[in-house]
């Protein structure tokens, strides 16, 4: 019969604790029977070490009765010696064979809790919701402390749909964002990101700014809101809004572009992902006269948008070429992924409006960013933080990895 034991080491972290413990385990194995390391987990929280080690031994043929008791006794002596020598506490307990190899139902998932700050009730609520559907939290780590605080929980024994449903109410009542992603290689294999522009990459809606200069702000704002909420066909609403711009001098486009305000964290997100090897671009229901210079300014790899018709130095109120609407955004995502040889499951899309839904659903990960309720309910996950670089934590990148991607002063 196999014997197994759990050794739990706690105390102030210092160099050599782990090495001393495993060296002692090697000596125990030499005195008795071969010892194998079954599982190891270690974490240091503000200088405090928690190290768990499961070791096992399979008695050789002809072993004497009571071998397991002697094994545990030897581990007890080891724990006392390592504790005295290292200034830590080492506890030993037998691990029951029953059920230890049973795999939990369902795939494992990452649950990311984000906030500024993260209230205790958000973590408590998430933990209770996970337990309520039969899930188990296997590990927790902090991903970031700035600009948002975020924690990643690794959860087993629960399905994605059940997790998202159970955690949605926790997010709604606590104000924290809670995202769910399946554990696996595809999470960290994402290689292309597509961002919506208006109210995602930049604050506000460009067409509303143009309409204000045409004296039609209230009219166009109503149409924009209805379109973004999915109440109007986007192509139809776009034509109606563009018609209201007829007669504006083309110089107004430059004026609006110069006054664009990027969403906080936009530069950090793009800079970090590009240094990590991502292809980055924008797909907009707005206008190429705005988005093309913006893409060049940010060093993006691709851009797609509508083109305003201009005649005699003024906007005609019409469009040139195909309209980039809800379906057009999804087609652009496919086109850019194919151009760069990247499978769709390795793509990310971020947007806030109903015209982004096809693109969000088609991408490997679709993120609704400060989106309308209609959009949040249908996206893979939602972020309601004001910082666009919080997308990095949803992708599993830690604050340290983000800082490592920041160019040094000599490379700027």
In terms of Cα–Cα distance, which of 297, 315, 342, 344 is closest to 306?
315
Strand partners, 50: 10, 43
SS (H, E, C) 120-184: HHHHHHHHHHHHHCCCEEEEEEEEECCCCEEEEEEEECCCHHHHHHHHHHHHHHHCCEEEEEECC
Asked if 95 and 5 touch (Cβ cutoff 8 Å), the reply is yes
Residue labelled with tokens 């002697």: 70
Task: Give 144's contacts (C-beta < 8 A, 6+ positions apart).
Answer: 150, 392, 393, 398, 399, 402
Residue labelled with tokens 């780590």: 141
Give 203-211's long-range contacts (Cβ < 8 A, gap of 24+): 203/261, 203/262, 203/263, 204/261, 206/256, 206/260, 206/286, 206/287, 206/290, 207/241, 207/242, 207/245, 207/286, 207/287, 209/256, 209/259, 210/245, 210/248, 210/252, 210/253, 210/256, 211/241, 211/244, 211/245
Task: Clarify whether 196 is annotated catalytic.
Answer: yes
Asked if 355 and 285 touch (Cβ cutoff 8 Å), the reply is yes
Length of the chain: 412
**Can you read off the two tokens belonging to residue 381?**
């996950």
Strand bridging mode 3-12 / 89-94: antiparallel
Instruction: Point out the catalytic residue in the list 31, 101, 177, 196.
Output: 196
Instruction: Point out the catalytic residue in the list 177, 198, 208, 356.
Output: 198
| Residues labelled catalytic | 196, 198
């Amino acid at each position: 019969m196999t014997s197994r034991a759990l050794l739990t080491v706690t105390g102030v972290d210092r160099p050599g604790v782990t090495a001393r413990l495993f060296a002692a385990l090697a000596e125990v194995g030499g005195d008795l029977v071969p010892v194998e390391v079954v599982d190891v987990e270690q974490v240091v929280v503000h200088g405090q070490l928690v190290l768990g080690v499961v070791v096992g031994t399979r008695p050789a043929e002809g072993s004497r009765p009571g071998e397991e008791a002697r094994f545990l006794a030897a581990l007890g002596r080891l724990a006392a010696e390592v504790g005295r020598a290292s200034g830590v506490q080492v506890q030993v307990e037998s691990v029951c064979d029953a059920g230890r190899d049973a795999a939990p139902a369902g795939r494992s998932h990452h649950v990311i809790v984000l906030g500024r700050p993260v209230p205790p009730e958000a973590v408590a609520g998430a933990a209770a919701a996970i337990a309520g559907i039969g899930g188990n939290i296997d590990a927790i780590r902090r991903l970031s402390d700035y600009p948002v605080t975020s924690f990643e929980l690794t959860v087993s024994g629960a399905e994605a749909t059940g997790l998202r449903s159970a955690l949605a109410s926790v997010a709604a009542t606590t104000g924290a964002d809670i995202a769910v992603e399946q554990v696996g290689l595809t999470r960290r294999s994402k290689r292309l990101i597509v961002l919506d522009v208006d109210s995602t990459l930049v604050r506000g809606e460009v067409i509303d700014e143009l309409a204000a200069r045409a004296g039609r702000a209230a009219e166009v704002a109503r149409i924009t809101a209805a379109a973004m909420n999915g109440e109007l066909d986007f192509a139809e609403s776009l034509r109606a809004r563009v018609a209201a711009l007829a007669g504006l001098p083309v110089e107004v486009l430059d004026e609006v572009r110069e006054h664009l305000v990027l969403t906080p964290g936009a530069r950090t997100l793009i800079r970090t992902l590009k240094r990590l090897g991502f292809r980055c671009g924008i797909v907009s229901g707005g206008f190429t006269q705005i988005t093309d210079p913006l893409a060049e300014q940010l060093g993006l790899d691709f851009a797609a948008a509508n083109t305003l018709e201009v005649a005699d130095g003024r906007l005609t109120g019409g469009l040139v070429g195909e309209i980039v609407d809800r379906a057009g955004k999804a087609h652009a995502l496919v086109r850019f992924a194919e151009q760069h040889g990247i499978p769709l499951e390795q793509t990310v899309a971020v947007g806030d409006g109903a015209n982004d839904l096809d693109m969000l659903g088609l991408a490997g990960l679709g993120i609704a960013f400060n989106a309308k309720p209609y959009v949040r309910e249908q996206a893979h996950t939602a972020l309601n933080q004001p910082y666009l670089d919080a997308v990095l934590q949803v992708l599993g990148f830690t604050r340290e990895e983000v800082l490592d991607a920041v160019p040094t002063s000599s490379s700027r």
